[in-house]
Amino acid sequence: MGKATVIPFGPQHPVLPEPLHLDLVVQDETVIDCLPQIGFIHRGLEKLVEKRDYNQFIYVAERICGICAMGHSLGYAETVEELMGVEVPKRAEYLRVIWHELSRIHSHLLWLGLAADAFGFESLFMHCWRLRERVLDLFEKTTGGRVILSVVKVGGVVRDIDGAMLREIVAVLEGLEAEYATIVSTLLTDASIKNRTVGVGVISHEEALDLSMVGPFARASAVNYDCRMLGRGAYGDLSDFQPILDTQGDCYARIKVRCSEVLQSIAIIKELVAKIPTGDIAVDVKGSPADGSQASNVLEQPRGECYYYARGNGSKNLERMRMRTPTSQNLAGMVAALKGCDLADVNMIILTIDPCVSCTER
């Protein structure tokens, strides 16, 4: 056995899309310990609630992360609505979920592309991002934005989607489904991809529970939890919702779970488009959250459960706003998955966890 050496990894690194720094303690070619270091993107936006009132802060909340933007604005709005006892119209709830599921498709396609790039499959990366552009076009048509949508407000949504556009969304997704099937079959059957991912970075079911992991990372280790199964908002009207699980807990299982989740999101959108009720898309919200009132909320982001907390102080500004994002919850799991892996597998394992650093640091 060789001597243990510390290898710094990141923040600027060719395989990392985001600035994450890891100190990898390596013995020969095996990683024996790993220390994540963050803080490169820390902005301190939770303190901005003091300078922006609760209506303005939604635009800050969705800029926590450009990939999960829709989810953050939704989670923030739901929390403030809970705090102030606001009832959102049914149509608004449906529209929110349609956009949220679209952004899950965009996020997972983005991730599939990055994963393909991580094992050197660049053409597959390009194909994933080509498909993703169609979802972004739908965003642009319905909201005007490509990544930051700004359609949710406290009390409802800002824009409606008319019937013709809803049908177009379904038509585009149906077209996407067919092409997506060929990409997935490549990803899941290709021998070289299997060689790199099967049995790599394994997290057992017990470990996943022990480390309180969330999201697809946990579901790949058969943790039966997805916030959508709590049936809140429009999710409660779905005829059936079962989290997508896998039992292997390795990189391959995590790819498989995310691949299936895209199809699940398409099915959810189709069902909601068929069921969407007519009516208002927003209610007027007046007044301020009461002094000392507090509310919490959980929401399934593309990367897993996100927790929100808000406390009022009687003024238009909140006393405290807090988001616990899925990646910060999964950091412990990431350290566990990296321990004992080969140095060459580090980028693959980090990517299959799908870390979102700007969410983590805020």
What is the footprint of other proteins within residues 25-54 (CB under 8 A)? 35, 37-48, 50-51
Cβ-Cβ contacts under 8 Å for 1 (sequence gap 6 or more): 27, 28
Between residue 232 and residue 261, which ones bind other proteins under the rule CB under 8 A?
232
Q: From CA 34, how far away is CA 203, in angstroms rounded?
A: 16
Is residue 57 within 8 A of residue 310, CB to CB? The reply is no
- Residue from 231, 277, 279, 340 touching other proteins (CB under 8 A): that is 231
Minimum CB separation of residue 191 from other proteins in Å reads 26
Coil/strand/helix, residue 312: strand
Is residue 320 within 8 A of residue 310, CB to CB? The reply is yes
Q: From CA 151, how far away is CA 141, in angstroms rounded?
A: 12
Query: ω before 11 within 30° of 0 (cis)?
Result: yes
Between residue 156 and residue 195, which ones bind other proteins under the rule CB under 8 A?
none
For position 291 contacting other proteins by CB under 8 A, the verdict is yes
Quick one: 41 exposed, middle or buried, by C-beta within 10 A (0-12, 13-18, 19+)?
middle
For position 12 contacting other proteins by CB under 8 A, the verdict is yes
- Which of 129/263 has CB closer to other proteins? 129
- Which of 64/98 has CB closer to other proteins? 64
Q: From CA 12, how far away is CA 18, in angstroms rounded?
A: 8
Q: Judged by CB under 8 A, which stretch of 7-15, 96-104, 180-188, 193-201 contacts other proteins?
A: 7-15
Closest to 105 (Cα-Cα) out of 63, 67, 75, 65: 67
Minimum CB separation of residue 194 from other proteins in Å reads 25
DSSP symbol at 35: E
Q: From CA 236, how far away is CA 229, in angstroms rounded?
A: 8
Between residue 296 and residue 315, which ones bind other proteins under the rule CB under 8 A?
296-298, 305, 307, 309, 311, 313-315
Minimum CB separation of residue 165 from other proteins in Å reads 19
- Residue from 267, 331, 339, 343 touching other proteins (CB under 8 A): that is 331
For position 14 contacting other proteins by CB under 8 A, the verdict is yes
Between residue 52 and residue 81, which ones bind other proteins under the rule CB under 8 A?
59-60, 63-67, 69
Q: From CA 231, how far away is CA 352, in angstroms rounded?
A: 27
- Residue from 89, 294, 342, 343 touching other proteins (CB under 8 A): that is 294
- Residue from 6, 7, 85, 133 touching other proteins (CB under 8 A): that is 133
- Which of 19/89 has CB closer to other proteins? 19
197 residue type, one letter: T
